[in-house]
Structure 1
Amino acid sequence: MTDQQTPGPRRPGEYALALLGHGAPADDPADASPHRFPDGGSWRTEIPSVEGPEALATVLEEVERLELPVHRISQGSGIWMLTDAEITEMVQATTERDIELCLFTGPRGTWDIGSATRTPSGGGGLRARGHDQVAGCVEDALRATALGVRCLLVADEGVLWLLHQLRQQGVLPADTTFKVSALVGPVNPAAYAVWERLGGDSINIPSDLTLQHLTEIRRASGAPMDFYIEAPDDLGGFVRMYDAAELIRRGAPIYLKFGLSKAPAIYPYGRQMRDVTLQTARERVRRGRLVLDLLARHGADGGMSPLGSRLPGPLNRFPIDSSATPNGSETDPRFTPERI
């Protein structure tokens, strides 16, 4: 009996194009990422822009109907745009289904009084302007984690470094994870490695990076990557469904994010945006189903992390000054939900 090599995933149109003499060159094994999530998986899924309990209920209903496996659900308007009751309801609903809930921290430059963010250059973008906005982001983090949230979305490198230190000191729960926003995502390997060292546990990169860029990043860092398979219009509106298998091969460990192009912006969310928010929430789930169906047709759907997986595994960090004295603790009454 002879050993037979298991065939890999097929490429789109591979057989028909080969018949015509237009077959693609073989994959270069050196391009494949050697990294994985600690559970052994190479990819997970995320539904972004789920802006409150009603949108979450809509997503969960559609996820069940379309049988879409989901590891993480994220929100973009910010913790400060949700009441304690709304956060608690979202935590309970996702916990019951073993899905990670990720909420965005605090005030940002794009909503501030500073005019530079309205100029063509974009100014400081979503970063926290001044001490007060940094403090608001930290306050959001303390409040959300006290209510049971264990994943925080961050759009400022200073805020990320401070939150990572608070996690190390036990002020934030040790199993809190930090997700770097797509709007400040790195575009080169060195920058990606810096975000990891600042405390990032999964790092969005812009969806216009090439496949070669992913390989370059993976040679510098094994931190989980977040990638919009379909990007919102303000991130370029790219639709890269046919790249999904190669994104996994080169970018693992990677979160496949199912965004939506040609849809109105909904941040910061309020009831005036209710109808479009619920409609787009349903369509994001459908887009996810399309991507996973495509992967299955090509035999490239293997290697998904088990549902319920959320931690990133060991990562590289900048050293923290051990002489620093923590200003609080998990038992400090100021950090309980009743006092926040």
Structure 2
Amino acid sequence: MTAVTAQPSPSRRPGASALAAIGHPVPPLDDADASPHTFPDGGTWRTEIPSVEGPESLAAVIEEARRLDVPVHRVSQGSGIWMLTDSEITEMVGACGEQDMELCLFTGPRGTWDIGGSTRTPSGGAGLRARGHDAVAGSVEDALRAVELGVRCLLVADEGVLWTLHRMRTQGLLPADTTLKVSALIGPVNPAAYAVYEQLGGDSLNVPSDLTPQHLTEIRRVSRAPMDMYVEAPDELGGYVRMYEIAELIRRGAPLYLKFGLSRAAGIYPYGAHLRDHALATARERVRRARLALDLLARHGADNGMSPLGARLPGKLRRFPTEGS
């Protein structure tokens, strides 16, 4: 697959020809629903393999991606920067650099990993956010350590941490090309919230996988910030499998990162060697799921909008003013 910047071409909808042949009505596509936005390189979609928890899992992803010819723009980790040694982070940065692949690591203590119990109540409490000053400070410490080791994408699950890291970026405390990815754990569910996360500093925003195509169109009427979406979501995020909708999700949600989670798989956060076999097996299967999804895109004639490998920046986005701006 190669990246293109040409105008989008019509794509075949699942089953359209056969349904039309038997007189079954096929709803027409509405051009007004399509996103007018792209990545800066002109592409409409990129790929992400999540839950890549260390160098060994990353090696498994790279090997499987090569075997199955799966283009991977980004890999992300969920356990947290604090769960990796300096040498592990450095190894991952080097391996991703060789593959023109972005590495995104999760910042800070959050939610169930501190002494707060509200996340275990039926209401879920405040979710997996950073509780108190010390949790924010821990996230900052993680961010500084990661960028010193060469990481340029940070995963964030708290609005305050997001705004803090964005202000650090504008003041030169983080490299200017650092990108901030909003986690699915706090993903916005309406256009107003999406616009707020963009202005707080979000460069890539993970929306919940149960949003409808119409919801994506509503978001694209107010924001061009890149969107992340699990095409297959892990069970803890709903377990949704939306492969047959990929072409429409791209049409409505571009610029869009297609994320390949894994339904019916046990969670691995925080990861350790006791989960090694499971982590490696699920890493490989996520890449295989990506191959299945990309095959569907190709079969429907909708695979022509991929960004080139190595592309990672979001383009110019809207921000709230920071001190001194």
- Please state which band the TM-score falls in when normalised by the shorter chain: over 0.9
Partner-residue secondary structure (3-state), 1:256: strand
Aligned match of 2:203 in 188, 201, 204? Answer: 201
| Alpha-carbon separation, structure 1, partners of 2:146 and 2:26 | 49
2:31 matched to 1:29? yes
Matched with 1:270 is 272
What is the root-mean-square deviation of aligned Cα atoms in Å? 1.1
* Bigger Cα Rg: 1
Partner-residue secondary structure (3-state), 1:274: helix
Matched with 1:142 is 144
| Alpha-carbon separation, structure 1, partners of 2:25 and 2:313 | 39
2:282 matched to 1:280? yes
Letter in 2 for 1:12: P
Partner-residue secondary structure (3-state), 2:20: helix
Contact 2:8 2:305 in 1 (8 A): no
Contact 1:186 1:192 in 2 (8 A): yes
Normalization by structure 1: what TM-score?
A: 0.93
Mapping of 1:181-200 within 5 angstroms? Answer: 181-200=183-202
| Alpha-carbon separation, structure 2, partners of 1:182 and 1:301 | 25
Matched with 2:219 is 217
Matched with 2:4 is none
| Alpha-carbon separation, structure 2, partners of 1:153 and 1:71 | 15
Matched with 2:121 is 119
Mapping of 1:74-113 within 5 angstroms? Answer: 74-113=76-115
Partner-residue secondary structure (3-state), 2:138: helix
Partner-residue secondary structure (3-state), 1:255: strand
CA shift, 1:23, in A, is 3.1
| Alpha-carbon separation, structure 2, partners of 1:6 and 1:117 | 44
Matched with 2:171 is 169
Structure 2, unpaired ranges of 5+? 1-6
Partner-residue secondary structure (3-state), 2:130: coil
Cα distance change of structure 1 residues 15 and 267 upon mapping to structure 2, 3 Å threshold:
same
Letter in 2 for 1:259: G
CA shift, 1:7, in A, is 6.3
The number of residues matched between the two structures is 319
Aligned match of 1:227 in 214, 217, 229? Answer: 229
| Alpha-carbon separation, structure 1, partners of 2:273 and 2:27 | 51
Partner-residue secondary structure (3-state), 1:317: coil
Matched with 2:294 is 292
Matched with 1:311 is 313
| Alpha-carbon separation, structure 2, partners of 1:54 and 1:266 | 14
| Alpha-carbon separation, structure 1, partners of 2:147 and 2:111 | 23
CA shift, 1:6, in A, is 9.4
Matched with 1:257 is 259
Letter in 1 for 2:127: G
Deviations 1:38-90 (A, max 9, x none): 00000000000000000000000000000100100000000000000000000
Letter in 1 for 2:313: L
Contact 1:14 1:23 in 2 (8 A): no
Aligned match of 1:46 in 48, 59, 66? Answer: 48
Deviations 1:218-237 (A, max 9, x none): 00100000000000000000
Letter in 2 for 1:92: G
Hey, which bits of structure 1, 4+ residues long, moved more than 2 A? none
Deviations 1:168-203 (A, max 9, x none): 000100000000000100000000000000000000
Normalization by structure 2: what TM-score?
A: 0.97
Partner-residue secondary structure (3-state), 2:268: coil
CA shift, 1:25, in A, is 1.5
Partner-residue secondary structure (3-state), 1:234: helix
CA shift, 1:283, in A, is 0.2
CA shift, 1:296, in A, is 0.2
Aligned match of 1:321 in 316, 320, 323? Answer: 323
Contact 1:45 1:255 in 2 (8 A): yes
Contact 1:59 1:282 in 2 (8 A): yes
Partner-residue secondary structure (3-state), 2:180: strand
| Alpha-carbon separation, structure 2, partners of 1:256 and 1:115 | 33
| Alpha-carbon separation, structure 1, partners of 2:122 and 2:110 | 18
